[in-house]
Every structure is written in C-alpha cells, then in structure tokens.
Amino acid sequence: MSNFGKLILVPTPIGNLEDITLRAITVLKEADIVLAEDTRVSSRLLNHLGIEKKLSPHHKFNEHKTVSSLISRIQQGNKVAMISDAGTPSISDPGFLLTRACIENNIKVECLPGPTALIPALAVSGLPSDKFVFEGFLPQKKGRQTRLVQLAEETRTMVFYESPHRLAKCLAQFSEFFDGERRACVCRELSKMFEEIKRGTVQELYDYYTANPPKGEIVIVVGGRSKKGK
C-alpha cells in the first residue's frame, strides 16, 4: 500500500445526529479533504459538530470526472474523508468508483463502522436475518420486471430502498410477483422524530400506504420464498 495519503469512508447519521461516532468526528477534523455528496446537507452536519472544514462536492454527476485528480491528491499525501448525505458511502451512494480507483493504485482505503439504514430495518422487521440479500433501489424501468421475476424465487429475506412516492406501486408489484401474503415490513424515517415501523403482509402494507401516502426515507424488508411455495 502507499505510504502517502489514504481514503477514509465515513458513515454519517441517517437521521438522528447523535448517531455519529467519536472516531468519525476525529477523522473529519483531521482530514485534509472532505468529499461530500451534497455540500449543503453535509455543512449542516459539520456545523452541528463544530467542525470548520471546506467541503468538496463528489456525487454521481461529477465522480467520473474527479476520480483522477483525487487519486493524484491522495498520492501527494492527502488524507481524504468521504461522506454521503446519510449512511455509509458506496451503499446506494457515491463512493464505489473512487474506492476501486484507490485499490487499483495501491492506495490505502479505510471504512469506519457506522450508520446505514438497511441493518436497523432488517433487525427490527422480525423477519429472518441470518441470511439476507440487499437489493437497494430496483431499476425504475428497464430491467425492473426481469429482476422481480428473479427475486420471486429468492428464499432469503430481501431489503430494498424506495422513494415515498413510489412505495405503493412497489408494494403492488411485490404483491403481483411475490404473492400478497408474503410477510413484509416498511420502515420510514428511521432514527428520526417521526420514525414509523409497519409490519404485515405485502397486501396489508399496500392497502395502508395507499390510504396513507408516506413521506421521508423508506426501507422495505420482504420475507423470502417459502420452500413449500410462495
């Protein structure tokens, strides 16, 4: 590995700002460069923590263009910390491209343990958690139906991210492809003031959220296919 700089992936709170770790605070204070998915969002966090640091934008619209220059700066000895708007970088957020480029250039990469929405949702769902598959966001159009057909045979618990305005449609598709009697759990606004956990069958959850359109961040946990059938 390089004896110069390094990349550090720093998880940030998914809602409650008290979920930041002491180590994460130290890394952000000591970093030469802090990359942020949205500098406006991350500025609020750093202000809350009392950290005065200039943020550099690094998001899905510019990450392909900035990787080379960032690799060069790390090789010059800079310690670069990367944060996303919430949760762990590269988990349904920017981070993978730069991480891969660092590894290819023998640059040290560290990832701090910390917040992510999928693990609390899985743990609180009451569904089997010994084996699971994380799907993140399903394709919105092309390939979505093909993926749902494939997942209909999945026996492990499945975890999805979804936007609030597409939740009801997503649950309707789960009912169609997986069977409406599958057990599921919808977690909304995890760790925030208006956190909501709803458990039931896919059909029951569809009925509820059709009548009660949700707001905020959504995680859906769905039970896998039973060996006896659906």
Q: Which residue, 111, 132, 152, sits at the end of a domain?
A: 111
Task: Please tell me whether residues 50 and 147 are part of one structural domain.
Answer: no
pLDDT in tens, 148-202: 999 999 999 999 999 999 999 999 999 999 989 999 999 999 999 999 999 999 9
Note whether residue 227 is domain-resident.
Answer: no
Task: Please tell me whether residues 130 and 218 are part of one structural domain.
Answer: yes
Q: Which residue, 81, 111, 141, sits at the end of a domain?
A: 111
Task: Please tell me whether residues 93 and 155 are part of one structural domain.
Answer: no
Q: Which burial class, exposed, middle or buried, applies to 69 when counting CB atoms under 10 A from its CB (0-12, 13-18, 19+)?
A: exposed
Note whether residue 167 is domain-resident.
Answer: yes
pLDDT in tens, 199-208: 999 999 999 9
Task: Please tell me whether residues 213 and 122 are part of one structural domain.
Answer: yes
Note whether residue 228 is domain-resident.
Answer: no
- Specify whether the CB–CB gap between 192 and 216 falls below 8 A: yes
What CATH number does residue 215 fall under?
3.30.950.10
pLDDT in tens, 62-106: 888 999 999 999 999 999 999 999 999 999 999 999 999 999 999
DSSP class per residue in 60-120:
TTTHHHHHHHHHHHHHTT-EEEEE-SSB-TTSSSS-HHHHHHHHHTT-EEEE-----SHHH
The count of domains in the chain is 2
pLDDT in tens, 111-134: 999 999 999 999 999 999 999 999
Task: Please tell me whether residues 99 and 134 are part of one structural domain.
Answer: no
- Specify whether the CB–CB gap between 48 and 12 falls below 8 A: no
Provide the residue range defining the domain that includes 145.
118-222
Give rounded-to-5 percent helix, strand, coil for the chain.
Answer: 35, 20, 40
Note whether residue 35 is domain-resident.
Answer: yes
Counted residue by residue, the chain has a size of 230
